Amino acid sequence: MKNIWIIANWKSNKNIAEALEWISLVGPKLPRKDNLPAGRQGLKVVVCPTFSVIEEVKKAIQVGNFPLMVGSQDLSPFDEGAYTGEEAAAILNDLVELSILGHSERRQNFGESDEMVERKTAQAIAANIIPLVCVQGQDIPIPSECNLVAYEPIFAIGTGNPDTPENAESVAKKIKEKVGQEIEILYGGSVNSENCKKFLEQEDISGFLIGKASLDGEEFVKIIDCANSLI
Ligand code: 13P
């Protein structure tokens, strides 16, 4: 049985009040693992807020005891030390279990290179943070220690024009063949509650990285309910 990851990438959205409102809406509606029979516990839900909101989100999840992991949208390629403005993995790991690395918005707007993504991946692993490496196509290099990849074609991001489930499946299969190791592939790009089922039915797609539709708690819960009905 495959895991299904449903990961909210809030990008540069939601202040603390808005984030807490989202948590109080979504948290109680998440399927509770202890209510699920053995063998049906493969649903992993993650929220990735901005750095300044992570701590409050984490506290709210702990208080509510919600089955929700917290991730960051980036981390530093450097160790702790004299790197002004950077968030070192060794500091961040008090707060997050996963980090999105190499998102196309970082590659395009901040000049993030494949080599930098590789360094960030190594930092994440050394700090026990799961690296979720984003690739925009099957030819983008995947760091060797990485077991979780999101295929996010640029034409599909924020456009309302998703890839087809069949093409996403074909890319996922090719990435798996190329990497030749146990790896889980997620799809991202204009995912919503209407189109999510067809992607999840694909053999090699193990969930989603969701931007816009994750900002609306009700919409996000619908996607989770869809995933939960399939595992
Ligand atoms: P949208 O879901 O808004 O298309 O964004 C996808 C994405 O970039 C998630 O990382």
Residue identifier of the C-alpha nearest atom 5 of ligand 1: 211
pTM of the full structure: 0.96
In a domain, 34, yes or no: no
Q: If pLDDT is split at 50, 70 and 90, which confidence band does 63 have? A: very high
DSSP per position, the chain? ---EEEEEE--S---HHHHHHHHHHHGGGSPPGGGSPTT---EEEEEE--HHHHHHHHHHHHHHT-S-EEEES---SS-SSS-TT---HHHHTTT-SEEEES-HHHHHHH---HHHHHHHHHHHHHTT-EEEEEESSTTS---TT--EEEE--GGGTTSS-PPPHHHHHHHHHHHHHHH-S--EEEEESS--TTTHHHHHTSTT--EEEESHHHHSHHHHHHHHHHHHHH-
In a domain, 165, yes or no: yes
Distance 100 CA to ligand 1 centre (A): 12
In a domain, 124, yes or no: yes
What are the residue numbers of the active site?
103, 152
Residue 231 has pLDDT above 80, yes or no: yes
CA 53 to chain centre: 17
Contact 143, 118 (CB under 8 A): yes
The arithmetic mean of pLDDT across residues 208-225, rounded, is 98
Q: Indicate which atom in ligand 1 lies nearest the CA of residue 134.
A: 10
pLDDT tens string 70-128: 999 999 999 999 999 999 999 999 999 999 999 999 999 999 999 999 999 999 999 99
Q: Indicate which atom in ligand 1 lies nearest the CA of residue 103.
A: 10
* Among 73, 190, 223, residue to substitute to test ligand 1 (most atoms within 8 Å of Cβ): 190
Distance 15 CA to ligand 1 centre (A): 19
In a domain, 127, yes or no: yes
In a domain, 20, yes or no: yes
Phi, psi at 8, each rounded to 5°: -90, 120
Residue in 8, 4, 42, 44 with CA at minimum distance from that of residue 23: 8
The arithmetic mean of pLDDT across residues 28-47, rounded, is 78
Q: Which range of residues forms the domain containing residue 90?
A: 4-27+42-230
Query: For position 8, what pLDDT does the model report?
Result: 98
Q: Indicate which atom in ligand 1 lies nearest the CA of residue 105.
A: 8
* Among 9, 10, 100, residue to substitute to test ligand 1 (most atoms within 8 Å of Cβ): 9
In a domain, 106, yes or no: yes
How many domains does the structure of the chain reveal?
Answer: 1
* Among 210, 216, 219, residue to substitute to test ligand 1 (most atoms within 8 Å of Cβ): 210
Q: If pLDDT is split at 50, 70 and 90, which confidence band does 180 have? A: confident
In a domain, 81, yes or no: yes
Q: If pLDDT is split at 50, 70 and 90, which confidence band does 40 have? A: low
In a domain, 189, yes or no: yes
- How far is the C-alpha of 63 from the C-alpha of 59, rounded, in Å? 6
CATH code at position 198? 3.20.20.70
- Ligand 1 first shell, C-beta below 6 A: 9, 103, 152, 157-158, 188-191, 209-213
Q: Indicate which atom in ligand 1 lies nearest the CA of residue 156.
A: 4
